[in-house]
Amino acid sequence: MTKKIFYLTSALSFFGIQTVFASENALFQGLDNQIALGYSYNSLHAYNPNYSGPNVTTSASNLNLHLEQLFNNNIWLAIDGSFTFKANQNSPGGAGFSDNTQEFGFPASLSAKGGYSFNWGGNSTQGFQVIPYVTMGRMLNYNGMSVSQNTFTQSYLNMYGGGARLEYAFTRDASIYLDQSIGYLQDPNANNSDVYDQSAMSYTTLLGIKYNVTPYFQLGLQGMFNQTNLIDTSIGYNPITYSYQNTAQTSFGGMLSFAYLYNNDQLMSSLSNIGSSGNNSGAPNSLLAAFDNSYSLGMGWVNSTNSYKGGSAPNIGTSSNYIDFNVAHLFENNVWANIDAQLINNISQTNVPAGRVNSSVPTYIGFPGSVTFDVGYGFQAFDSGFQIIPYANAGVVMNMNSYNLRSNSSIMNAISQDMYLQYGFGGRAEYAINNFWQIYADQLLAGMKDQSPLGINAWRSTSSLGVKINPVGPLQLGLKGFYDIITPNGDAYNSSTNSYVPAQQNSLGVQFDIGLRY
């Protein structure tokens, strides 16, 4: 599934080769071409239609990242990432871990949509577009039935589907849209006859409005309704435990988003018949912006070692890979911003202590993912293609770790508390040798405040060395290597279990990216 996301992105990269001149769909580009951060609040109600047993309602607060682009040739692309940072759940009335965590497709997801815009009135102040699209992605599935059989690392669903979006721009600064999608949620563990097959059908309806407050800034409101139904409803009854499991879920919610319109200034000028010649090519930092103004999907591979500061237990070895979603922008005033989100794709470990929790939950800082933000300023030598960027860093690093999970009464507490709040500073040096390639070095030093009951604060040092290549049109390829050190402030001793925690983590990795410049 991960490779298919890359294939979709690659195909859209080539189809999306475009010029900098005004296009026939300029009205919708001025509304759709955006990078957005959002907050959403969702309510998920899991139930069994054939049994009035332990229905479960989960309320979740989520951070959302949305990127959207409508190319000059009407190809449309959207990438969405979401993760829950706070959740609570009603008491289901059942006993056991599998009874009290029965939501589906929770608590994080990453998906991509690709389609074609059929639009009318795209160069006026009003217009209408219809976008049929295909979609694919991955969502975590921390459902009690799945986790108890497949462990946390294998509890996810692959999504394949399609849909259509209808959007009406009633002025050049505002539009409303309706989005309907149907997805097949494939359980990768379904081939194992000894486990429940949680493959399902998902139906999602979105209704939203966009308003351009300024040529660069947009506010958005969106409502969501989703119905998820397991295909094999026979798993609703467990003949071994004589208990009923939930097989369906109804969800609804709302999202408030704040978006940066990355090329709306040029497009709004063309709509006003002023002309479309203004673009970044005349800016002093245009060569650097040709590399920094990009978004990408990446795949990373990491080897890590977790060690104890006391005791005689052997180090824990980890091999993992992850999906990375990155958006960066260098503004004309030299302000630089970067957003990075990661989701663990697969993980395997050695020397893990015995026990059911240790075998079900990885002993790894950063599972199941993270979201970080960088904001800095580029000091440049004029027309040299070289800049130094001091920046501030902040973010959330999830830490649903084996030693943390023992201290939580439920998975809701783990999702809401088992994380680090990261904050720090870094420096980045970039050199664009020419229009084809750029090399860079990056050093981050950050504090990590533990929100879990253990309170094991730490600091980290991350060193990166990479290259970006612009081979053709807007297509961009990237490769970087990195070394990351996470060190606890104290001895990481857990008094409740009378043992040391392997909170010292050293990692060496490499990441490959494929993306588009904008």
pLDDT in tens, 385-428: 999 999 999 999 999 888 887 776 677 778 888 999 999 999 99
Answer with the one of 268, 293, 324 that is the final residue of a domain.
Answer: 268
| Inter-residue contact 99 to 135 (CB < 8 Å) | no
pTM for this model (two decimals): 0.86
**DSSP string for residues in 395-409:** EEEE---HHHHTT-S
Answer with the one of 210, 235, 268 that is the final residue of a domain.
Answer: 268
| Inter-residue contact 191 to 199 (CB < 8 Å) | no
| 338 has pLDDT over 60 | yes
Tell me how far apart the alpha carbons of residues 384 and 377 are, in angstroms, rounded to a whole number: 17
Shared domain for 424 and 496, answered yes or no, is: yes
pLDDT in tens, 220-229: 999 999 999 9
pLDDT in tens, 6-44: 444 444 444 444 433 345 688 999 999 999 999 999 999
- Assigned domain for 17 exists: no
| 284 has pLDDT over 70 | no
**For the domain that residue 433 is a member of, what is the CATH number?**
2.40.128.100
* pLDDT band per the 50, 70, 90 thresholds, residue 102: low
Classify 14 as helix, strand or coil. Answer: helix
Tell me how far apart the alpha carbons of residues 152 and 362 are, in angstroms, rounded to a whole number: 8
Q: Is the peptide bond before 368 cis (omega within 30 degrees of 0)?
A: yes
- Assigned domain for 114 exists: yes
Shared domain for 448 and 428, answered yes or no, is: yes
Shared domain for 283 and 264, answered yes or no, is: no
Shared domain for 155 and 78, answered yes or no, is: yes
Q: Is the peptide bond before 107 cis (omega within 30 degrees of 0)?
A: yes
Shared domain for 295 and 349, answered yes or no, is: yes
- Assigned domain for 366 exists: yes
Q: Tokens 């890979």 sit at which residue?
A: 321
- Assigned domain for 16 exists: no
Shared domain for 240 and 357, answered yes or no, is: no
90/127: higher pLDDT: 127
Tell me how far apart the alpha carbons of residues 431 and 291 are, in angstroms, rounded to a whole number: 10
- Assigned domain for 509 exists: yes
Q: What is the rounded (10 degree) CA torsion for 76, 250, 209, 19?
A: -10
Q: Which element (helix H / strand E) includes 265? A: helix 264-271
pLDDT in tens, 246-263: 889 999 999 999 999 987
Q: Which element (helix H / strand E) includes 483? A: strand 475-488
Domain residues for the domain of 327 are 279-517
- Assigned domain for 495 exists: yes
* Residue 4: φ, ψ to 5°: -65, -35
| Per-residue model confidence (pLDDT) at position 125 | 86
Shared domain for 263 and 314, answered yes or no, is: no
Answer with the one of 236, 268, 300 that is the final residue of a domain.
Answer: 268
Q: Residue 365: how many CB atoms within 10 A of its CB?
A: 29
Q: Tokens 């580009």 sit at which residue?
A: 29
| Per-residue model confidence (pLDDT) at position 409 | 65
- Assigned domain for 36 exists: yes
Shared domain for 408 and 466, answered yes or no, is: yes
Shared domain for 237 and 357, answered yes or no, is: no
Count of domains observed in the chain? 2
Tell me how far apart the alpha carbons of residues 192 and 186 are, in angstroms, rounded to a whole number: 13
